[in-house]
Structure 1
Amino acid sequence: MLKKIDLENILFLDIETVPEVPEFDQLDENKQSLWDQKSKYKRGEGITAEEYYENAGIWAEFGKIICISVGYFHFKGSLRKFRVTTFHGDELTLLKEFRSLLESHFTSRKYLLCAHNGKEFDFPYIARRMIIHNIPLPEKLNHFGKKPWEVPHLDTMELWKFGDYKHYTSLKLMAHVLGIPSPKEDIDGSMVREVFYKDKDLDRIILYCERDVITVAQVLLRLRNETLLAEEEILRV
């Protein structure tokens, strides 16, 4: 079934998120209290809400998106290219730009969105942040009234589960076991907050995000038992 999907009909994506403000004490008292309640079940014993705030970016109610990288295949005869680009900067602006992309080029039912752990993280996170910003949800993110098989989303982690709902596999681990060459990375997900707020180096984060999009595409190729992308087939635009 996976082999029957036209690769040109898939938009691969990845997002990077950070806490909505750099430090816990920059939240108003009400938001601090709400964070304390929200994070309580995740914090270890003796860890305060303030100490745990560095993890706030994983919740759409307390975080924000700083970039959305997307990639898509383009075939011309026997030539294959994978184009990658990134929406970044002000969250409201990048969300509007991403929505515009979906509404102008990916509205047809044939198009699918694909991410690693996207059904648990990327897709709902983007949808929640759009609603918070009063941005109408694009059809590709609006699940209301749809049956599970009608939701136009692919998730490489879900595909790897093969029905095992208890199983979690990181993108990095999947790439390793599937023999996908991993480019040298100077940051990982745990460092994004510091690189964004302290180093103020969004370009490093964008490069990291785009590498993940490429890796998701490579993983899907391996799941289809197809040839991996070569470096010269990848275009950053």
Structure 2
Amino acid sequence: MNLTVKLNDILFLDIETVPQEENWSSLSKETQELFSKKTQYQRKEEFTAEDFYERAGIWAEFGKIICISVGYFVDVEHNKQLRLTSFYGDDEHQLLINFKVLLDKHFAKKNNVLCAHNGKEFDFPYIARRMIVNKIELPKKLNLFGKKPWEVPHLDTLEMWKFGDYKHYTSLKLLTSILGIPSPKDDIDGSEVASVYYKEKNLQRIVAYCEKDTIAVAQILLRFNNENLIEEKDILSIN
């Protein structure tokens, strides 16, 4: 692939989400009923809505964001360096505000784009929906109302890998494996995030996991562009 976007203009990102409440019993009766109707098709008759609630984090209507990790390339002494930062915590409103400030101040130019794996189906709309729920004005890079498909400032490494085959899904772990990229999944996986957050109360572990996914997305785009992978020594966390 020959990218028409400069690497320095791309903001790579990944998000981690959990159910809004730890326990089903903490939900109002109305929310329980709405969740039951929302998930009826996915659950079918195999699970009750209560049993299925542990997966509620995948829906913006019933989940919340606890971490957004971002990465961007800079040129340091003629070498590429990937800089990482994360917005995280129990206060979703504040972390979304902090993320919005980053976009508005540093990635609001016309040539700036956002990039994530399955971002167009998950990360980008999830962030936008949670901003609306939290009464936060959408930054330009997430406000897609009235835009034509070619005007959307988003890259999606899953979509790029599909090559037009819309029924094809490839996980981040599989893609990094076949492309010879060190796997980011060496600690927890997505199904464990809620447990680590609510039961272990280990947010730093989740942040580390989220940042590894962000690095993986950046590495994938380098491989797509037939460029050398960035070395660990050139990855800098600035949290």
The residue number in structure 2 matching 1:20 is: 20
Give, in whole Å, the separation in 2 of the partners of 1:172 and 1:181. Answer: 9
Q: Which amino acid aligns with 1:53?
A: Y
Q: Distance in 2 between matches of 1:128 and 1:184?
A: 27
Shift of 1:77: 4.3
In structure 2, the residue matched to 1:48 is: 48
Alignment correspondent of 1:68: 68
Cα distance in structure 1, aligned partners of 2:5 and 2:140: 20
Does the C-alpha gap of structure 1 residues 31 and 183 become closer, same or farther in structure 2, counting only changes over 3 Å? closer
Structure 1's unaligned 5+ residue stretches are none
Residue in structure 2 matched with residue 216 of structure 1 by the alignment = 217
Give per-residue Cα distances to partners, 1:44-66, cap 9 Å, x unaligned.
42410000000000000000000
Runs of 4+ with >3 A deviation: none
Q: 2-side partners of 1:181 and 1:209: how far apart?
A: 15
Please give the alpha-carbon distance, in whole angstroms, between the structure 2 residues aligned to 1:47 and 1:3. Answer: 44
Q: What secondary structure does 1:41 align onto? A: helix
Q: Which residue of 1 aligns with 2:82?
A: 82
Using the alignment, how far apart are the partners of 1:184 and 1:173 within structure 2?
10
> Aligned partners of 1:54, 1:198: CA distance in 2, in Å?
12
Alignment of 1:82-231 (within 5 A): 82-89=82-89, 90-183=91-184, 185-231=186-232
Task: Provide the identity percentage.
Answer: 61
Question: Which runs of no fewer than 5 residues in structure 2 stay unpaired?
Answer: none
C-alpha separation in 2, matches of 1:2 and 1:109: 20
Structure 2 SS opposite 1:218 = helix
Q: What is the alpha-carbon distance in structure 2 between the residues aligned to residue 155 and residue 184 of structure 1? A: 19
SS of 1:87's equivalent in the other structure is strand
CA distance in 2, matches of 1:88, 1:12: 16
TM-fit CA distance, 1:215 = 0.2
1:189 partner letter: G
Q: TM-score, normalized by length of structure 2? A: 0.97
Deviations 1:19-44 (A, max 9, x none): 00001110000000000000111114
**Length, aligned pairs only:** 237
1:3 maps to: 3
1:222 partner letter: R
Residue 2 of structure 1 deviates from its aligned partner by 3.7
SS in 2 for 1:176: helix
Q: Equivalents in 2 of 1:233, 1:72: separation in Å?
A: 12
